[in-house]
A = this chain, B = another copy of it.
Amino acid sequence: MSKAMTEPTSELLYLDDLHIGRRFTSGTHALDERQIVAFAREFDPQPFHTNREAAKGTIFRGLAASGWHTAAITMRLQVDGGLPIAGGLIGLGGEVAWPTATRPNDVLHVESEVVEVVPSRSGRERGAVTMRSETRNQRGEVVQRTTVKLLVPRRSKLG
């Protein structure tokens, strides 16, 4: 658990609770070379992700995590309280960019902000919320920026 900059993570949020500008901060994940290489061997076996020595001669000038590894770690940080949405984090898609390489020994966290709330038109059960998230390393550099549309349920009117 990090020093929560903005929101407690124990309460699960519904569509009704979200408004533009609401912000969330995740805990942290410490990355190391072993994790980078293990992910890359399975999903992105390119020398700049799998081999420290070979990586030096590439455009990355050293080992870097696969962008999809950064995306997967970001998801884990959001599932683990970084984005406490009722019903879970169900993404329909969005945009992703990797402005800075993720490196061994980076400590990552995710900051997210609601940028759009669209109530469902066809039914009352759920709507779509667009979140903009930045994954940052321990120096505050943005290693991933995403804008993702999530399905979010309305709070039940029971009781």
Residues of A within 8 A of B (CB): 39, 42-48, 58-59, 66-69, 71-73, 75-76, 79, 87-99, 145, 151
What separation, in Å, do the CA atoms of A87 and B54 have in the docked complex? 12
Are A92's CB and B88's CB within 8 A? no
CB contact between A79 and one of B45, B59, B67, B76 (< 8 Å): that residue: B45
User: Residues of B contacting A45 with CB < 8 Å?
Assistant: 76, 79
- The A interface, classified by DSSP as helix, strand, loop or mixed, is mixed
User: Residues of B contacting A96 with CB < 8 Å?
Assistant: 93-96
Are B43's CB and A89's CB within 8 A? no
Are A68's CB and B72's CB within 8 A? yes
- Name the distance in Å between A45's Cβ and chain B's nearest Cβ: 6
Are A76's CB and B42's CB within 8 A? yes
What separation, in Å, do the CA atoms of A76 and B39 have in the docked complex? 11
What separation, in Å, do the CA atoms of A95 and B42 have in the docked complex? 23
- Chain B CB count within 10 A is highest, among A42, A93, A151, for A93
- Name the distance in Å between A73's Cβ and chain B's nearest Cβ: 7
**Provided the pairs A59-B87, A79-B44, A95-B95 are in contact, do residues A68 and B66 lie with their beta carbons within 8 angstroms?**
no
